[in-house]
Amino acid sequence: MTILIDNLELRRLYSYDDITLTGAFVSFLAVIAFLLSFGYLKNSKERECVPYSVDIPLESLVEWKGEILDSPTIKVSSFELIVLTVETLQKDEIQCYNPANGMLLKTLKAHSLEDIDLRIENAGVARQQWRKTTFAQRRQVLRSMLKFVLENQETIARIACIDSGKTMLDAALGEILTIVEKLNWTIKHGEAALKPERRPTSMIMIYKHAEVWYEPLGIISAFVSWNYPFHNVFAPIITAIFAGNAVIIKGSEQTAWSSRFFTNIAKKALEACGHSSEIVQNVIALPEQASYLLMHPSIRHVTFIGSHEVGIKVAKQAAEILRPVTIELGGKDAAIILEEVHDINAVTATLMRGTFQSAGQNCVGIERIICVGKIYNQVIDLVDPLVKNLRVGYTLDEEVDMGAMINDRTFDHLEELINEAVMQGARLVYGGLRFHHPKYTKGHYFMPTLLVDVTTSMRIANEEVFAPVMTFMKASTLDEAIEITNSSKYGLGGSVFGKNNMHVEHVISSVETGMMSANDFACYYLAQLPFGGTKGSGYGRFGGNEGLRAVSNLKSVCTDITNLVQTRIPSVVQYPIRDQDKAWCFLQGLLEVLYATNLRQRAQGLMSLARNSV
């Protein structure tokens, strides 16, 4: 607040002889100071971030060295393990390893059905108290998490890199930044999304308050993918606990090693703030146990992030018991480049980040670049040297631009798709093959790939590749670009780059997706807008108001504005009905009074009410 006081006013307020303020002004300042101090003291406990620590896995330490597996996989037979002189792996154990170099991290035992039951039971007990917590208490937990994440960025990123093979910069952008922003948004806006929401009423309910209440559902579960080990585990925890729920996190078996640490970050924050850590549970499960968790009678909601094929199975199973599901199943996101753009170099940089971040293993990654007209060759000429100069390797040992892929199971199929496209007329500018890294011979690497002149008839234009493959398609007109975009069975996200705002808006309104960015890539996620798709990309939303409400029980509540006016059933329609004809005419008149479109009909209705009300 700025107060402008002229010289005369200054003379009135101040005595320059003794340099004291007038009594009135001192009183004014004292009142303001008291109010500010009271507000600060009143909210200081909420603003407080409680410090805490989490044990770091030994395998993440710089000096730690593990055995390099000969054939790295998360599950191998006992015979293979004996040959490798590693302890025998039972059928319910998971072999965790670093996909960048094939180094064994740990062998973890999958949780049994009894283990899952116990975790759900513990979560159920703990959530009875948690659901009663105030939003201020929940914000304190989230603030404490935020402080921990900011102070431990390097450790968190390092662990994510070890378990997924991505680079430190990819982890900073895709793991840390996204979680910090989600925490920040939920702290600031989460309560507003979940407070009772007033709804308008009609004339017949003019004496009522109509509201929607958002109440905790209970125990919810999240089945999350491996491509963002920290983010995918932590994001559903934030949403679940702020909405007053307990949550069971079932991370991918591919990143089971890191999921325990990331879950513990949340559990320790709860403990530090005086709450039970049991409301957050981590389940390590193979598909057999995961199905049991999905169908468990105590689970009230399921979030699933994964492949289209598995998502269909999840939806079918959940439908059998009427369990609500939010499903995100990946996509075939297109970036449409109009003939005129603001800055072609900025567009090129965005396309590179959108395609090659996390080695292309990104559900909203750019899988198709559709250029309209003459800009097609210009963009290809700009990205060509950039793709060829990408450095591939292990981020914790050397400076690299792109890391490893999570495994090599898709490599044969990727090479097949690319070779098939070339046979059908596409041009392979660079890459197209698995990369045998000279230093990390057991790592899972695929060459950054640039494939141009792709058409909709090719499989690579329709299947989600989830790999570092930059694919270019040409459109003669804006409408053709839209048609190409909508030819995919997926409809998750997309982007459009152009100067002409009318053309940009036309693209946004015409493409069949759940999310769109203008002159940017996936910015809707950092903006905390609802995240999700349409068509083959799933249904439901997480993120933003809609994400919090998706894990809440929406309760419609109607109350009296005042006790002086309450509902009374008119005697003419009370059971048992004494006169059917009179009751009918009474209700007909009531409808005419309330809903007729002209005064004459309303007057007739009023007369009918008067005649038939007794």
Cis peptide before 576 (omega within 30 of 0): yes
Q: Verify that 374 and 316 share a domain, yes or no.
A: no
Is there a single domain that holds both residue 345 and residue 314? no
Looking at the fold, whether 323 and 397 belong to one and the same domain comes out as: no
Contact residues for 441 (Cβ-Cβ < 8 A; gap 6+): 102
Give dist(CA 612, CA 609) in Å, integer: 5
Task: Name the average pLDDT for the chain.
Answer: 91
Report the pLDDT averaged over residues 405-425: 98
DSSP label of 563? T
Do residues 144 and 237 share a domain? yes
Neighbours of 394 (CB within 10 A): 23
Cα–Cα distance for residue pair 559/555, rounded to 1 Å: 13
In this structure, the answer to whether residues 221 and 180 fall within a common structural domain is: yes
Q: Where in the sequence numbering do the catalytic residues fall? A: 328
Domain finish residue from 329, 356, 376: 329
Which tens digit of pLDDT belongs to each residue from 457-494? 999 999 999 999 999 999 999 999 999 999 999 999 99
CA neighbor of 175 nearest in space, from 273, 272, 255: 255
Is position 552 within any domain?
Answer: no
CB–CB of 327/314 below 8 Å?
Answer: yes
Kindly report which listed range (67-81, 118-132, 282-296) carries the lowest average pLDDT score: 67-81
pLDDT tier at 10, thresholds 50, 70, 90: very low
Q: Would 81 be classed as within a structural domain?
A: no
Specify the CATH number for the domain of residue 432.
3.40.309.10
Contact 469, 312 (CB under 8 A): no
Residue 57, domain member (yes or no): no
pLDDT, position 482 = 98
User: Which amino acid appears at position 454 of this protein?
Assistant: V
Model confidence pLDDT, tens digit, residues 370-389? 999 999 999 999 999 999 99
* pLDDT grade for 330, boundaries at 50, 70 and 90: confident
At which of 303, 329, 355 does a domain end? 329
Q: Hey, which bits of 275-316 come out as E strands? A: 280-283, 299-305
DSSP 35-57: HHHHHHHHHHHHHPPPP---PPP
- Residue 445 near residue 296, CB atoms below 8 Å: no
| One domain, residues 586 and 446 | no
Continuous segment of H or E residues that includes residue 312: helix 308-320
Both 296 and 370 in one domain: the answer is: no
Question: Is pLDDT at 343 greater than 80 in this prediction?
Answer: yes
**311-321 confidence digits (pLDDT tens):** 999 999 999 99
Asked if residue 442 has pLDDT above 70, the reply is yes
* Encoded tokens for 8: 């005369």
Domain end point (choices 286, 309, 329)? 329
pLDDT of 559 > 60? The answer is yes
Output helix, strand, coil percentages for the chain, rounded to the nearest 5: 45, 15, 35
The pLDDT score that the predictor gives to residue 47 is 64
Per-residue burial over 562-577, b = 16 or more CB atoms within 10 Å of its CB, e = otherwise: eeeeeeeeeebbeeee
3-state SS, one letter per residue, for 564-586: CCCCCCCHHHCCCCCCHHHHHHH
Nearest to 220 by CA among 323, 316, 315: 323
Q: What angle do CA 53, 57, 59 make, to 5 degrees?
A: 150
Number of domains, the chain: 4
The residue range of the domain holding 516 is 334-525
Average pLDDT, integer, range 380-409? 97
- pLDDT at 287 (0 to 100): 81
Same structural domain, 26 and 166:
no
Sequence-distant (6+) residues with CB within 8 A of 226 are 164, 232, 251, 252, 254, 255, 406
From 267, 282, 246, 450, select the one nearest 366 (Cα to Cα).
Answer: 450
The answer as to whether 1 is a domain residue is no
Strand-pairing partners, residue 472, are 369
Higher pLDDT, 38 or 76: 38
Confidence check: pLDDT of 1 > 80? no
pLDDT at 42 over 70: no
Same domain for 274 and 245: yes
Please spell the DSSP secondary structure of 147-191, one letter per residue: HHHHHTHHHHHHHHHHHH---HHHHIIIIIIHHHHHHHHHHHHHH
- Dihedral angle of Cα 487, 491, 497, 500, to the nearest 10 degrees: 80
Domain containing residue 161: CATH number: 3.40.605.10
Task: Based on the fold, state whether residues 301 and 388 are members of the same structural domain.
Answer: no
Of 489, 496, 460, which Cα lies nearest the Cα of 475? 496
Residue among 305, 331, 359 nearest 99 (CA): 359
Q: What percent of the chain has pLDDT over 90?
A: 87
Same domain, 33 and 115: no
* 242 three-class SS: helix
The string of DSSP letters for 248-282 reads: EEE--GGGHHHHHHHHHHHHHHHHHTTS-GGGEEE
CA distance 511 to 496: 10
pLDDT digits (tens, 9 = 90+) for 216-244: 999 999 999 999 999 999 999 999 999 99
What gap in Å lies between CA 384 and CA 298, rounded to an integer?
Answer: 53
Question: Which pLDDT does position 265 carry in this prediction?
Answer: 98
What pLDDT sits at residue 23? 55
Other Cβ atoms within 10 Å of 47 Cβ, number: 11
What's the mean pLDDT in 174-191?
98
Give the predicted TM-score (pTM) of the model.
Answer: 0.89
Other CB atoms within 10 A of residue 170 CB: 26
Structure confidence at residue 353 (pLDDT) = 98
Domain assignment present for 206 = no
271 plus 179 within the same structural domain: yes
User: According to the model, what pLDDT value does residue 289 have?
Assistant: 87
* 413 domain residue, yes or no: yes
**Does residue 256 sit within a domain?**
yes
Cβ atoms within 10 Å of 326's Cβ, excluding its own:
23
